[in-house]
C-alpha cells in the first residue's frame, strides 16, 4: 500500500515535543502547558527560554544564575566583531545574521560536539550574541560607533540600548520583552523543522541555527511582518483602509498578516500584540497607524472571518516594532532573537532522542527512457 502524499507535509506528525502545544481551532498556544497569555503577562524572555529548555519554570536562584550567564556572554568574540565591521553596509540584515551565526562555528574549538550538555552551553552563547550582532550590524551600516552591551540589562533592554544609544522606556522594554516571549516557539514551524532536520544528521548547532535563519527569512514565514508594514504604508489614510482591502480581496491578493496554516481562529499571540500595539501607538504618537490596523481588521472580519481567516502574529507585531522605532528591515531579524531560544530547545530535544529525518518522495517522472546521443538531439 502506497504511503499517502501530503503536499507541504500538512497534517504529517514528524516529531514529538514537550514544548509548545497549539489548538488551532480554539486559538490556544501553551509553552510546556502554560497558556501564552500568562507568560506574556507575568514572565520574561529569559525565564521563557529556561522553561522551554528545561520543561519547567526555574526557581528564583536558577533564574538568577541563568540570567547572569547570558549577560556575561553579551560581548561578541573579537574575531566576529572584526568580521561584522567588514560586512558590506548595504547587506540585508537577515543575510548578515545568517552569516554571523554561521561564523560563530569558525571560532569554536569544538564546533561539532552534539552531546546535550555541550550543546546547551553553545546555545546560551548564541542566545546572548545574536542581539549584539544585530545591534552592531545596524550601527555599522549607519556609520555609527558600536555601543557596548550593558550586562545590567535584560536581553530586550540591552538590545534596544545598543541599537539606539539610549536606554528604552519601561513601556518599550516591556513591549520588546513580550514580543520575544510570543515569538520564542511555535510548534514544528518551517524554521524549527529546518533546525531539527539538520541536527538530526548529527551535524552541529551552528549549521542547524544557520539553516533555521535562512528558512525564517522567507516572506511566507518570518518575513511576513515586513509585508504588513509595507501594506500599512501603502494606505494613505485611515478612511482609505477599507477600500484598499476590499480592492485587494476582489483581486484575490494575499492580505499580509491574516490567515495561518495552523490557526482557524484568532491567533492568541495577536491578541496580546494588539494590546501592546495600541499602548505603544498612544505613547509614541502613532495612533493613526494603529487605527489603520484596526480598520483593516474590521474589514477583514466582515469579509473573511467566516472562512477562518483572522489576524496572525505578524499583523500587530509590525505596528509594535514600528512604534518601538525599529526600521522595517529589522522586523524579521528581531524574530531571530526570539526564535533562537525555541530553535535551541528543539535542537536539544532532538538530540535527546534522535532519529535522522529521511522522508520518502513520490516519483512522478517517466520510466525506461532511452538515452539520446547529443548529435541526435
Q: Where in the chain is the domain with CATH 1.10.580.10?
A: 20-218+329-352
pLDDT at 225: 79
- Cβ count near 48 (within 10 Å): 26
DSSP sequence for 288-337: HHHHHHHHHHHHHHHHHGGGT--B-HHHHHHHHHHHHT--GGGHHHHHHH
CA distance 50 to 44: 10
CA distance 117 to 195: 18
Query: What's the rounded mean pLDDT across residues 288-315?
Result: 90
CA distance 182 to 346: 16
> Which of 45, 200, 228 is CA-nearest to residue 130?
45
Give the 3-state secondary structure of residue 252: coil
pLDDT at 47: 98
> Looking at the annotation, which residues are catalytic?
221, 260, 314
CA distance 83 to 334: 21
Task: Answer whether 172's CB lies under 8 Å from 277's CB.
Answer: no
pLDDT at 106: 97
CA distance 25 to 317: 22
Query: What's the rounded mean pLDDT across residues 338-350?
Result: 98
347 pLDDT exceeds 90? yes
36 pLDDT exceeds 80? yes
Residue 247 binned pLDDT confidence (cut-offs 50, 70, 90): very high
Specify the pTM.
Answer: 0.93
Average pLDDT taken over every residue of the chain: 94
Return the CATH architecture of domain 20-218+329-352. Answer: Orthogonal Bundle (1.10)
pLDDT at 2: 58
Give the 3-state secondary structure of residue 23: strand
Q: Which tens digits make up the pLDDT trace of 86-125?
A: 999 999 999 999 999 999 999 999 999 999 999 999 999 9
Tell me the three cell numbers of residue 257: 498578516
Tell me the three cell numbers of residue 290: 494603529
CATH number of 224-324: 1.10.230.10
Q: What is the CA radius of gyration of the chain?
A: 22
Q: Where in the chain is the domain with CATH 1.10.230.10?
A: 224-324
Torsion of CA 215, 197, 26, 18, to 10 degrees: -130
Give the 3-state secondary structure of residue 374: helix
pLDDT at 204: 98
In the sheet that holds 34-35, the strands lie side by side as 20-23, 28-31, 34-35
Classify the C-alpha dihedral 159-162-168-172 as positive or negative.
Answer: negative
pLDDT-above-90 percentage for the chain: 80
Amino acid at each position: 500500500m502506497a504511503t499517502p502524499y501530503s503536499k507541504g507535509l500538512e497534517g504529517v506528525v514528524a516529531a514529538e515535543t514537550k514544548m509548545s502545544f497549539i489548538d488551532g481551532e480554539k486559538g490556544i498556544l501553551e509553552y510546556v502547558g502554560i497558556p501564552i497569555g500568562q507568560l506574556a503577562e507575568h514572565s520574561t524572555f529569559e525565564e521563557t527560554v529556561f522553561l522551554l529548555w528545561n520543561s519547567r519554570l526555574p526557581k528564583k536562584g536558577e533564574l538568577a544564575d541563568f540570567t547572569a550567564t547570558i549577560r556575561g556572554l553579551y560581548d561578541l568574540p573579537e574575531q566576529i566583531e572584526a568580521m561584522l565591521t567588514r560586512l558590506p553596509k548595504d547587506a540585508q540584515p537577515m543575510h548578515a545574521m545568517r552569516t554571523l551565526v554561521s561564523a560563530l562555528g569558525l571560532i569554536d574549538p569544538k564546533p561539532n560536539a552534539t552531546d546535550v550538555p555541550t550543546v546547551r552551553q553553545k546555545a546560551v552563547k548564541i542566545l546572548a550574541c545574536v542581539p549584539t550582532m544585530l545591534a552592531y550590524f545596524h550601527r555599522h551600516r549607519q556609520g555609527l560607533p558600536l555601543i557596548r552591551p550593558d550586562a545590567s540589562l535584560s536581553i530586550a533592554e540591552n538590545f534596544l540600548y545598543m541599537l539606539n544609544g539610549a536606554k528604552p522606556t519601561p513601556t518599550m522594554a516591556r513591549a520588546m520583552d513580550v514580543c520575544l516571549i510570543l515569538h520564542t516557539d511555535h510548534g514544528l514551524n518551517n524554521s524549527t523543522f529546518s533546525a531539527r532536520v539538520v541536527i538530526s544528521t548529527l551535524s552541529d548547532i551552528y549549521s542547524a541555527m544557520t539553516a533555521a535563519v535562512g528558512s525564517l527569512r522567507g516572506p511566507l514565514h518570518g518575513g511576513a511582518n515586513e509585508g504588513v508594514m509595507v501594506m500599512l504604508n501603502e494606505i494613505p489614510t485611515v478612511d482609505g483602509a477599507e477600500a484598499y482591502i476590499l480592492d485587494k480581496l476582489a483581486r484575490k491578493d494575499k492580505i499580509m498578516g491574516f490567515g495561518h496554516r495552523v490557526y482557524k481562529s484568532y491567533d492568541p499571540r495577536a491578541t496580546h500584540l494588539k494590546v501592546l500595539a495600541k499602548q505603544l501607538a498612544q505613547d509614541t504618537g502613532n495612533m493613526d497607524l494603529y487605527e489603520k490596523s484596526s480598520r483593516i481588521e474590521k474589514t477583514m472580519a466582515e469579509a473573511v472571518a467566516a472562512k477562518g481567516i483572522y489576524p496572525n502574529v505578524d499583523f500587530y507585531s509590525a505596528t509594535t516594532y514600528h512604534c518601538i522605532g525599529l526600521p522595517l528591515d529589522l522586523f524579521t531579524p528581531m524574530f531571530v532573537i526570539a526564535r533562537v531560544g525555541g530553535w535551541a530547545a528543539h535542537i536539544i530535544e532532538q538530540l535527546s532522542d534522535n532519529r535522522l529525518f529521511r522522508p520518502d518522495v513520490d516519483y512522478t517522472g517517466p520510466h525506461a527512457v532511452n538515452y539520446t546521443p547529443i548529435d541526435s538531439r
